[in-house]
Structure 1
Amino acid sequence: MKRMKRIMALMLAAIMMMAMSVTAFAAEGAGTHTLTVNAKGGQDLKGQTINLYKLFDVTESGTTESKNYAYTVNTATGYKDAIKSALGTSFTGTTDEEYAAAVLAIGSNDSTEVQKFANDFTTYALKNSLAATATSSKITESQTSYDFTGLDAGYYLVYVTGGKEIQSSLVTVDATTNTVNLKTEAPSIEKTADKTTVNIGDVVTYNVKGVIPDTTGYDQYQYIIHDELSTGLDFVNDTTGTALGEAATTVNVKVAFGADVTDEGTAPTTATLDSTNKRKMSLDLSAWVKANQTNNKGKEFTVTYYAKVNKDAVVTEKNNAKLEYGNNPSDTTTTTPSEAKTPTYPLDIKKINKKTSELLAGAKFSLYRTETDAKNGENAITVTGSNGNYVVDPASTTTEFESVKSIDGKGYNLHINGLEAKDYWLVETQAPEGFNKLTAPIKVTITKTGDAEWKVSKDGVEETDKIIDIENSTGSLLPSTGGRGAIAFAVIAALLVFGVAVSFIRDKRKEA
């Protein structure tokens, strides 16, 4: 009997150990999965927030060749209602098996019907504030994938906030590592300019192109364009460069579709200027985007506005526009800025003595846009400045700029800033004192070679240092007939005459 009790005790202990090991095995499978979410091709996840909704818990059995899956609806509040809503009014099931069977019957992978189910579930979840199973923080770095770790096995829906349209993805997480490729495309804008290089005083027309996002399923949607000009540009109200008033709070813009689209809402005609920086503006198109959902979602539109190049413009002149968007006003995403580059270039001149290479001050020049104007002395480019440093200034009446002895730290002694890339003709209007003036215009060519790169040539020959060398000559005295030799002969002659006179006087005295 004692022996039997001992055997029974051992068997009970073994059973308990087995039970514990089974429990441990089940626990090990729970919360150990990873899901890698990949951005749609060419997209970036920076600024995005990713939400996971677990529709079903999944358990599996069987071998690798033949596995069996059992699904149970997520018991978290609202999930059963969300799935039922997405399945449509024709679904009347009540059990987990019926829910799973209905989803299975929707269609094949990536079918239109399955995508509609995913989008309808997301719409319901957003409208009813369904709590996500897992949520990423807003992604702050530029990356193309994101890993969710510690997930339970299940059937998940992946949703990225604020997409151009709701395009959620479905995936079963049932292995150590799983991957899903997003279908969601983030909104974006592109800014362009009507000029590739500019003169100071030019008015640049900027166009920002975007696409009306599909906001179906969103109670609200933020769509705001932010633009910031660099210090070399100022907002103006039209192509003629009408300046903003001192107390201006807005700047004129034009928002329009292509010719084949009718605007269903009244588009804004002004953008709001920043209260402390008049080179920043914001254009809130949120209401207009919502107004154009019926017929125009997915269609391209253009925002047009203007800026004038000022005296502070430089070669690296650029400005940018970025889009702030999202279905949650307190958690919006801002796109990487789209830059439009409109560089302006300097003309640097090294005025030197041809014989000694000494820098020469006092040489005056004028610059022309055509050879004909240069030869006729008409329509010279106007400038302002002094001490060898000048800028193009359309409002000025000064057409000459003058070299100095030196400009500290520079390899030139005359500088003119604010020219676009093109041909110019440089005319010397006055040579330094004691030097010969140039008799013909010099052709100067500025060529853009990159966003911040350019080259300069003189009469067709590139100046590798981007400095135009201009030499002045001074010569020996020209021959004359009144030189020192004639003077010497005159002196000798005078002395001879004086000697003869003295001798004559002496002889007269002796005779007397």
Structure 2
Amino acid sequence: MRKVKNSIKKMMTLCLAAIMTLAMATTAFAADRIKTGNLTVNVNEGNTLKGQTIKVYKLFDLSVSDTHYAYTVNADYKNAIATALGLSKEATSEQLYNKLAEYKENPSGIQKFANDFTAAALKAGTAETGTSKKLGEVTEYKFENLDYGYYLVYQTGTKEIQSSLVSVDDVDVTVNLKGQAPSIDKTANATTVEIGQVVTYTIKGTIPDTTGYDKYTYKIHDTLTEGLDFVKDAVGTAQEGTSYNVSVKIGEGQAETKAATLSGENNRIMTLDLSEWIRNNQNSKGQEFTVTYYAKVNADAVVQTNNSAHLEYGNDPDNITTTTPDVVTTPTYPVQIHKLIKDQQNSYLAGAIFRLYRSEEDANNNQNAIAVTGSNGTYTVDPEQVGDNKMYDMESIGDGTTVGTGMNLKLNGLAEGSYWLVETQAPDGYNKLTAPVKITITKSDTTNVNDWTIKQNDGVVDDKIIDIENTTGTLLPETGGMGTVIFTVIAVVMILGIAVSFVISRRKRA
């Protein structure tokens, strides 16, 4: 009996050992079959992933043996894959694979499948295999330890759906995104401006794809500097109130009026909420749209006059993405004058009166002078050049600090171009200029707006202060007065005196 029991124990021990060996072998086999890899997702050139979310969907499982690959459809996405491929939901895994394989030489076909699957998944609320969550200012994201498979990669919030497809079949795999995040581009119809000029601003954007989003925010913000004011139209009609109309159109279509809101100091901040308009125009997603509006240059304009626009967008009200501001600079320039006595650099002559003209012909004929406002050596271009009681004369003062260091006359608010300065009246005791002085202003050709230049009669003025010298002299000879008569009389008297003295002397000797 004891022998039987011992035999049974030995058999059970052997069976248990065999079971453990088989289990270990099965685990090792499974581990060898189910492999994982890392997937690095790179944003396309010139963009970042700020505010974006990357989602991946494993469409097919993949097993690899040397150069042999076996794909099996993921049951979670089978119906959506079949629909996107135009096949029935009863299609087998092999049929789905074969249909996709047909797109190997058809890039547009495979891209359409990827986009159609994405749109269907978003509308249906289909769960993704993995997600990056909302990203910061990065250009790549790595999904780690993904099971081998055929993955669709989707970037949220792009201008249009542009999903990517990639097989994770190695330790490290990379895919480059195709989508672009929403952005805006702002331009002006002038690169330099004059006070009183109306500038037309244009913002271009692309209608983003909001497929699958219950909510979507799309707001354009524009902030003007002190040298600009929003106006209603291209002729400069003054804006009243905080409701501000702008023009919006898609492509070359019909423009429509949308109401923006003005706020901030002197209503120089504009907010244009296009959220509902974007959702209502999804049939035009991916197309360019244009926003047009106007601003007038005022007397506070300077060389650094600019305004900046940025976009606020996103499908999550609590996690809205703000783009980097797009700054448009429309500088205006001064003419700075040092009126001095010739050969006395530290002198400042008061009382010289000047006018500025836009052409040499006007300067020579004293017509169409630039109207100005101001006094005490400091003047600005009059925003309204036409009208009664306009002022054209600018008068220098007697020191080099009140107007600005090293100058005693300044006119602000000129655009790039050539001008002619005429001295219409010289200070008492000095000779005025006999010909107009040509002044040429050239905008900066670098990103630094302060690199502008000014020339005086074609010579560059390094310190940007134009020296205007006056000369003085002694009185010239006159006619009709005493002239030389007095000297003749004196000479005659002296000669007579000498003659009389000579005669008296001769008589005494006789």
Q: What residue identity is the alignment partner of 2:229?
A: D
Pairwise CA distance, 1:80: 5.4
- Pick one of 154, 177, 181 that aligns with 1:182: 177
* Contact 1:388–1:407 (CA under 8 A) maintained in structure 2: no
Distance 2:417 2:325 in 1: 29
Q: What residue identity is the alignment partner of 2:57?
A: K
Structure 2 unpaired stretches of 5+ = 498-510
Relative distance call for 1:204 and 1:327 in structure 2 (3 A) is same
Q: Match for residue 287 of structure 1?
A: 276
Q: Match for residue 41 of structure 2?
A: 37
When normalised by structure 1's length, the TM-score is: 0.79
Pairwise CA distance, 1:22: 5.9
Counterpart check, 1:324 vs 2:324: no
Pairwise CA distance, 1:25: 9.6
| Residues 74-473 of structure 1 aligned to structure 2 (within 5 Å) | 79=77, 82-83=80-81, 86-87=84-85, 90-93=88-91, 98-99=92-93, 101-106=95-100, 107-109=102-104, 111-141=107-137, 144-215=139-210, 218-245=213-240, 248-257=241-250, 261=253, 267-274=256-263, 278-294=267-283, 296-362=284-350, 363-395=352-384, 397-404=390-397, 405-407=399-401, 410-450=405-445, 452=449, 453-473=451-471
* Contact 1:87–1:103 (CA under 8 A) maintained in structure 2: no
Q: Match for residue 67 of structure 1?
A: 68
Distance 1:258 1:56 in 2: 37
Q: What residue identity is the alignment partner of 2:339?
A: K
Say which is worse superposed, 269-278 or 16-25, in terms of deviation: 16-25
Pairwise CA distance, 1:384: 2.8
Distance 2:54 2:307 in 1: 34
Pairwise CA distance, 1:108: 2.5
* Contact 1:359–1:413 (CA under 8 A) maintained in structure 2: no
Distance 2:171 2:444 in 1: 52
* Contact 1:54–1:156 (CA under 8 A) maintained in structure 2: yes
Distance 1:28 1:434 in 2: 104
Pairwise CA distance, 1:101: 4.7
* Contact 1:43–1:186 (CA under 8 A) maintained in structure 2: no
Secondary structure of 2:103 counterpart: coil
Pairwise CA distance, 1:204: 0.7
Deviation by residue 1:292-311 (Cα, 9 ceiling, x = unmatched):
444x4444432211100012
Secondary structure of 2:39 counterpart: strand
Pairwise CA distance, 1:183: 2.5
Relative distance call for 1:483 and 1:340 in structure 2 (3 A) is same
* Contact 1:406–1:412 (CA under 8 A) maintained in structure 2: yes
Please report the RMSD computed on the Cα atoms of aligned residues, expressed in angstroms: 4.0
Q: What residue identity is the alignment partner of 2:24?
A: A
Pairwise CA distance, 1:92: 1.4
Distance 2:464 2:75 in 1: 70
Distance 1:353 1:25 in 2: 98
* Contact 2:380–2:412 (CA under 8 A) maintained in structure 1: yes
Pairwise CA distance, 1:202: 0.6
* Contact 1:249–1:275 (CA under 8 A) maintained in structure 2: no
Q: Match for residue 508 of structure 2?
A: none
* Contact 2:160–2:285 (CA under 8 A) maintained in structure 1: no
Sequence identity (%): 48
Distance 1:17 1:312 in 2: 87
Relative distance call for 1:439 and 1:277 in structure 2 (3 A) is closer
Counterpart check, 1:50 vs 2:53: yes
When normalised by structure 2's length, the TM-score is: 0.79
Structure 1 unpaired stretches of 5+ = 498-512
Q: What residue identity is the alignment partner of 1:302?
A: T
Pairwise CA distance, 1:81: 5.6
Relative distance call for 1:100 and 1:412 in structure 2 (3 A) is farther
* Contact 1:197–1:421 (CA under 8 A) maintained in structure 2: yes
Pairwise CA distance, 1:427: 1.3
Pairwise CA distance, 1:472: 0.8
Q: What residue identity is the alignment partner of 1:26?
A: A
